[in-house]
Amino acid sequence: MENINWSDLSFGYMKTDYNVRCYYRDGKWGELEVSSSEIINIHMAATCLHYGQESFEGLKAFRGKDGKIRVFRMDENAKRMQSSSHGIKMAELPVEKFEEAVRKVVKLNERFVPPYESGAALYIRPLMIGMGAQVGVRPASEYMFMVFVTPVGPYFKGGFKPSKVCIMRSYDRAAPQGTGTIKVGGNYAASLVAGEKAHELGYAAVLYLDPKEKKYVDECGPANFFGIRGNSYITPQSHSILPSITNKSLQQLATDMGLTVERRAVPVEEIATFDEAAECGTAAVIAPISQIDDLDANKSYVIAKDGKPGPVCEKLYNKLRAIQYGDEPDVYNWVTVIE
């Protein structure tokens, strides 16, 4: 693309050429349709507008040194969207249909996949909404699945740098037995007030504690949390966090680097013992954490005293990025080359 300054892009929306849509009617999914419109025409009584029947996903396509376009672990996003559908009573989309839609929308918008050197990527946003008129609180009988794409810049513009996060004990993003494990819009609406407050106070994100007891670390805004202590990769197991595909991938890489992976409840005080801590997710892969302020408890955990990312985070980050961009062989079969 001629006029895009790839390395200056932020994580924002830019119009691309096409999106792909698919409708569920009369108990079955139809064929994929290609659209060049950014607009969705829906009934005012659609369940997505009233009762939050909406789920979404986020994944990326990367252009390699060889010019090839690679999509990372889209089968995992497809399965997570199925789990979101189960959780809020929407129609389940077959994994193959999800993958076909992703391949199609990336291919159609190929000119928006940033060049290798830029460190940017094409963000892919699948979403599903309940359509059709319904006034009572019931699931819709019709659904729309769609996928659009938009190029996004490198997450770390000034280099791979740690940031501060905060714990705010008077906010939760999800209920103990609620929808925290699925990717539905309501969880994100519930996180906006605390998120804005954290940003105003100069923090990169809110680190949520478990909503039942406020004893354990849950996750970090729109990312999972992990800590490194000695030879261990420690990450929370909880009923209120989203199973991150990045975290799952990092656990595999950590295991294969000889680290011990511990997935368990992580008491908040344990943070004091970590050599490194980080957020992980599709947006940044790894965003190291320098300090965690537990605002209501008036307590601070300083992790990166020198303000630099730790060696394990850096190694994991470089390894995963290398697989995504095709710099290293895809030994885990995580990547789909878009032909």
Ligand X SMILES: Cc1ncc(COP(=O)(O)O)c(C=O)c1O
Q: Give the residues lining the site for ligand X (CB under 6 A).
A: 58, 219, 222-224, 242, 244-247, 281-282
Return the sign of the alpha-carbon dihedral for residues 183, 259, 266, 306.
negative
Q: Specify the residue, 236 or 326, whose C-beta has the smaller distance to ligand X.
A: 236
Q: What's the min distance (Å) between Cβ of 283 and ligand X?
A: 7
For 101-158, what is the HEC assignment?
A: HHHHHHHHCHHHCCCHHHCCEEEEEEEEEEECECCCCCCCCEEEEEEEEEEECCCCCC
Q: Specify the residue, 130 or 221, whose C-beta has the smaller distance to ligand X.
A: 221
Amino acid at 287: A
Q: Specify the residue, 22 or 242, whose C-beta has the smaller distance to ligand X.
A: 242
Which residue from 295, 276, 151, 125 is spatially nearest to 209, judged by alpha carbons?
295
Q: Specify the residue, 102 or 245, whose C-beta has the smaller distance to ligand X.
A: 245
In whole angstroms, what is the distance from residue 88 CA to residue 328 CA? 39
Q: What's the min distance (Å) between Cβ of 321 and ligand X?
A: 14
Q: How far is CA 69 from the centre of its chain?
A: 20
Which residue from 190, 188, 29, 184 is spatially nearest to 100, judged by alpha carbons?
29
Which residue from 183, 264, 282, 154 is spatially nearest to 218, judged by alpha carbons?
264
Q: What's the min distance (Å) between Cβ of 240 and ligand X?
A: 10
Q: What's the min distance (Å) between Cβ of 43 and ligand X?
A: 28
Which residue is associated with the tokens 């940031």? 163
Q: What's the min distance (Å) between Cβ of 245 and ligand X?
A: 4
Q: Specify the residue, 224 or 251, whose C-beta has the smaller distance to ligand X.
A: 224
Q: What's the min distance (Å) between Cβ of 76 and ligand X?
A: 7
Q: Specify the residue, 225 or 301, whose C-beta has the smaller distance to ligand X.
A: 225
8 A C-beta contact, residue 124 and residue 71: yes
